[in-house]
A and B are shown apart, each in its own frame.
Chain A
């Protein structure tokens, strides 16, 4: 049986989404900006898609939702534009990001730091959550931007973006939130709180890869990252990804439709699955579940290195993750586990299961069985549970 429980990394494309995209490859392949019927053929589909995207986040027409190539581009765009507009010009000298942001925010912030911008990395508490007061504590009259994600990709922890947005508004500081893990999992309404920029990406909610978006509030305009033929109102040049935009529109509509199911049925499946996992001895879940997106579990199995667990799961056809897929080629500990100050010996033991509306109960039952077997096998190999003669001084808890 093949089971996909890595939906925070990417998702299956909804077949309805794929069907809507299909005509835009071989039939309606015109460049929307040209002056002929091939171009015009793309316009109704694009218009409908944009309407669905706007509706999905409750964006008013006068604001902009610029389609980009990915969330990484959207995040980079915000930070770099703020640098050009406010830091380089000397009007401001400071930005804040949380220490558990996606690498596309952290790495961009580090780059700005190398150019002389002061950056505060906001800490998380023991539940893996950024507390709003940390923003207030660090804000100055030279702060240009606060960037805090809506929901964390690794733990699913939901951050207090409403409160943070409020603090930013009070201090006249711009506020950006990376909502990649929020769309389709929890209600996203940009009119319900103060937010200037919001990032999301289609492939996290059953849309195609290569289509990201950045919501930009009217009056909070950014300067373009990509200069060129003035597509997207001059905000972002580059021939429109017609099929991608159509796909994002349909995926957004479907995600909004499925939100109730996500918030009730998926949550229930996740909770039951989590209860069963926690019955295994020496396990530990990060972030209380009511403070998490309904689909995510980051769980630590003591004595089992995360990659080993993935190995056994993969052999049984199950896809999970040790955290961010972007980090799978390096050797470092899960950064969220480190940030929340989890016991040091657990830093390398975290495994993430992330469900979607395509996950079935049967799949979770099968996964549970495989996990239990893997725990027995891998703890059997593990030095953490190994025999030692009396009086043996273990060195395994020390740094080398």
Chain B
């Protein structure tokens, strides 16, 4: 939140002048017919991407020199909003004069950057970044058609966030390296999820195979499994790394081994009620039973003894709170 996000505004105010100009007057809008391609001695490629039902669709026309693979002419037609049209136009422009292999390397980020008025100001608002993705996808489609291969063969890596082009492997690595636990943290580190937000969780503008929340869950499970393995193999697991259940078991074991005997001898006992993380501290809530209940020492000497043993055996930030 903050002042700028409170009143909102029109997305059009955030379009660059270039986007506005291209929407008003697209430069490469048009078609290439079979005849025109033949006259150039070129092969005609017509590739479609998107769908009207999704709100944006583009048809890309290439006339490609079959000897050199150079794109001699590049035109587009597009169903979509101003940014979709401007992005398609810019994409068509960037293709011209390049070989098909070079054109495949053009990304949606190149398209967006080409539409900026100044290097540091985005050409479109975040939720419209998605429109430039379509421009990138249609190039791959056209190249695949020209080469007679599958479109996916151009994508060496799985892209999770298409707007910011963040790969699955990058995301997995960054999440683990920095121990990220929230979507906001992922966005801060990688920009993934900052734009059209489709990649965050199901239900967005576009359906995905894997979402950011899935990656967080995957990491969370992985941490749990590691902790469980460590505890099963008897390794000395750090108390702070344990799951709540493991913490409870560990505390129970220390109490059984070191404390309970002492209490029972005095005709009392105790039970563990809850463990809560409180800042750096671990608050262990207990209840005294039998003779301990109401014993003067239960809030002084005995309590300190219990706390000291737990701190020594498990973690120095443990606090014991009798209720």
Contacts and interface: CB of A to CB of B under 8 A. Distances in A.
Nearest to A332: B205
Of B10, B48, B79, chain A has the most CB atoms within 10 Å of the CB of B79
Of B11, B52, B81, B82, chain A has the most CB atoms within 10 Å of the CB of B52
A333 B128 CA distance: 14
Contact of B57 (A329, A330, A380, A396): A396
A308 B51 contact: no
Contact of B85 (A328, A329, A381): A381
Interface in B242-268: none
B121 interface: no
Contacts of B76: 383
Contacts of A1: none
Given A328-B11, A387-B31, A397 B51 contact: yes
Contacts of A307: 81-82
B127 A331 contact: yes
A5 to B, nearest CB: 17
Interface in B1-57: 8, 10-12, 23-24, 26, 29, 31, 33-34, 44, 46, 48-57
B70 interface: no
A270 to B, nearest CB: 26
Interface residues of A, number: 39
Contacts of A44: none
A113 B136 CA distance: 40
B102 interface: no
A361 interface: no
Nearest to A387: B31
A348 B55 contact: yes
A218 B255 CA distance: 64
A interface secondary structure, majority: loop
Interface string A383-400: 111111110101111111
A397 B79 contact: no
Nearest to B80: A305
A158 to B, nearest CB: 29
Nearest to A306: B81
Contacts of A328: 10-11
Contact of B54 (A311, A315, A381, A399): A399
A329 B78 contact: no
Interface in A13-31: none
A183 interface: no
A400 B59 contact: no
Interface string A300-315: 0001110110010011
B85 A383 contact: no
A18 B8 CA distance: 26
A400 B54 contact: yes
B205 A386 contact: no
A39 to B, nearest CB: 33
B206 A400 contact: yes
A381 B77 contact: yes
A95 interface: no
Interface in B77-107: 77-82, 84-85
A396 B48 contact: yes
A311 B23 contact: yes
A272 interface: no
A400 B136 CA distance: 14
B130 A331 contact: yes
A365 interface: no
A396 B48 CA distance: 6
B82 A396 contact: no
A395 B48 contact: yes
A186 interface: no
B196 interface: yes
A360 interface: no
Given A315-B24, A328-B11, A389-B34, A400 B29 contact: no
A384 B31 CA distance: 13
B137 to A, nearest CB: 8
A344 interface: yes
Contacts of A315: 24
A248 interface: no
Contacts of A297: none
Nearest to B20: A311
Contacts of B29: 380-381
A333 B31 contact: no
B111 interface: no
B64 interface: no
A39 B127 CA distance: 49
B58 interface: yes
Interface in A326-356: 328-333, 344-349
Contact of A381 (B11, B12, B26): B26
Contacts of A385: 77
Nearest to A392: B46
A340 B285 CA distance: 57
A197 to B, nearest CB: 29
Of A308, A311, A344, A386, chain B has the most CB atoms within 10 Å of the CB of A386
Contacts of B81: 305, 307-308, 311
A349 B80 CA distance: 9
A390 B57 CA distance: 20
Contacts of B50: 396, 400
Of B44, B54, B84, chain A has the most CB atoms within 10 Å of the CB of B54
Nearest to A314: B12
Contacts of B55: 305, 331, 333, 347-348
A387 B33 contact: yes
Contacts of A308: 23, 80-82, 85
19 contacts: A305-B55, A305-B81, A308-B82, A308-B85, A315-B24, A329-B127, A331-B130, A331-B196, A345-B52, A383-B79, A386-B59, A392-B46, A394-B48, A396-B59, A399-B53, A399-B207, A400-B49, A400-B50, A400-B54
7 nearest A-B pairs in the assembled complex, by CB-CB distance: A386-B77, A344-B53, A345-B52, A307-B81, A387-B31, A383-B59, A383-B77
Interface of A: 303-305, 307-308, 311, 314-315, 328-333, 344-349, 380-390, 392, 394-400
Given A396-B79, A399-B54, 16 more contacts: A303-B52, A308-B23, A308-B81, A308-B82, A311-B81, A331-B128, A344-B52, A347-B53, A381-B26, A381-B85, A383-B57, A383-B78, A387-B77, A397-B51, A399-B207, A400-B50
